[in-house]
Chain A
Amino acid sequence: MDSICGHYYVKPTDSARSDARKWFPRTRDYYELRKQALKLRWWPTGSVGEHGQVEDLHWEPVKGAGQSPKIHELIIDDIIGGHDNVRVYFMVAPRPLDGDPVVDGKILPRIWILRTMQKKTQKLSNNDLSVLRGRAKIILKRHYGS
C-alpha cells in the first residue's frame, strides 16, 4: 500500500471518499485515483505560487472559493474509469493535529482532500463552490475549532 506521508500527511474527508466511490466503483479505478491523489504528499512546503506542479500533476487555486482557507485543484490528465477532466480538491490544514504522523521529530502538516469529481465545465458552478466551502468549514470547525 502506498505511503500517505511525504512532506505532508494526506487525509481525505469521508465525503470525498464517498465521492470517489461514486465516480470510481471499479476497485482498479479507485486505486488509480488514490495513487494520483497521494502525490499531494509531495506538495511544496513553505510559500507556494499561484499554480505549480507536484510530481507529474499540475495544481492551481480554485477561483471564487475564497482565501481562507485557500482551496486548490489538482488536475489529473489521464482518463480514469472512463472519466476525463478528473479533479481533486484540497486544502492545507492550519496546524497539525494530535496523532498526525511524526517524521524526523517533526509533525507532518496535513492536506485534507475535500472532493473528487469530473469537472464538466471550465468554471466551477456556485453550487460546487458552496460544497467545497461547506466541507472546508466542517473540517475547520470540527477539528480546529475555527
Chain B
Amino acid sequence: MNASAVLSELFATQTRQFAQIMGAFQECDEDIQAVVLEMVDIVNDESATGDEKDAATNTIVEALFPSLMQDMTQQERKARQGEAGNVLAEMADEESHFADRVNALMAQQGITQTELAEKVGVGQSAIANMLSRKSRPQRKTVARFAEAFGVDASELMP
C-alpha cells in the first residue's frame, strides 16, 4: 500500500470514528450535550493541565459511552482480582493487629473509648468502628493513638 493509500485509509477510519462519536452525541439530551461541549473545550484548551484534560476526557466517555465505561470497570476489576485478594488480606491483618493492640492498651491503661476519642480527636463511634475493623484509620490517626498511649506508632500498625 502506498503512502497516499495509507493516509486515505487513516482518514476514512478517523471519519468513521467521528461519525460514531457524533451519533452518540446526537442521542444525548441537550443538557448532557452541553456538558460534553464544555469538556471538549477543556480537552482542546492549551492552558488546561494534563489532569484536567484527563478528567474531562473521562467525563466525555461517561457521557457518550456509558456501557463502554462500565465494561472498562469490569475488566479492570477482573484484572486486579487475584492481587486484590492478597492485598485485602494483608490490610485486614494490619487492621486486626491495630484493634487488638489498642484494646489491650486501653485495658492496660484503663482508658475508655470516650476518653480515647477525645485524645485522638475523633468521635466515639469512629473509635468503635476502628476497633470492630469496619474502618481503617489513617496513618496520621494511628500516630495520634500512639501518642495517646505513649507508644511507637509502628507498634500499633506495622
Within the complex, the shortest CB–CB distance from B83 to chain A, in Å, comes to: 5
How far, in angstroms, from A138 to B59 measured CA to CA in the complex? 9
How far, in angstroms, from A35 to B137 measured CA to CA in the complex? 9
Known: A39-B135, A56-B138. A128 touches B63 (CB 8 A): no
Question: Across the A-B interface, how many residue pairs have beta carbons closer than 8 Å?
Answer: 121
**A100: CB under 8 A from chain B?**
no
How many of A's residues come within 8 Å of B, CB to CB?
42
Check if B32 sits within 8 Å of A15, measured CB to CB: no
Stretch in A16-24, A59-67, A91-99, A103-111 touching the partner: A16-24
Query: At the interface, is chain A mostly helix, strand, loop or mixed?
Result: helix
Q: Which residues of B contact A14 (CB under 8 A)?
A: 62, 66, 69-70, 72-73
**B58: CB under 8 A from chain A?**
yes
Query: At the interface, is chain B mostly helix, strand, loop or mixed?
Result: helix
Residue of B nearest to A76 (CB): B138
Check if A138 sits within 8 Å of B84, measured CB to CB: no
Which residue, B51, B56, B88, B139, has most C-beta atoms of chain A within 10 A? B51
Q: Which residues of B contact A28 (CB under 8 A)?
A: 87, 90-91
Within the complex, the shortest CB–CB distance from A114 to chain B, in Å, comes to: 10
Which 4 pairs across A and B sit closest by C-beta, in order of nearness? A14-B69, A15-B58, A134-B35, A127-B52
- For the complex with contacts A56-B140, A57-B138, A120-B51, 10 further pairs of A-B residues with Cβ separation under 8 Å are A14-B69, A14-B70, A21-B76, A35-B135, A42-B125, A42-B135, A55-B123, A117-B51, A128-B55, A134-B38
Q: Which B residues lie at the A interface, using CB under 8 A?
A: 29, 31-32, 35, 38-39, 42, 45, 48-49, 51-52, 54-56, 58-59, 61-63, 66, 69-70, 72-73, 76, 80, 83-84, 87-88, 90-91, 120-123, 125-126, 129-130, 134-141
Q: Which A residues lie at the B interface, using CB under 8 A?
A: 1-3, 13-15, 17-19, 21-22, 27-28, 30-32, 35-36, 39, 42, 53, 55-57, 76-78, 115, 117-118, 120, 125, 127-128, 130-131, 134-135, 137-138, 141-142
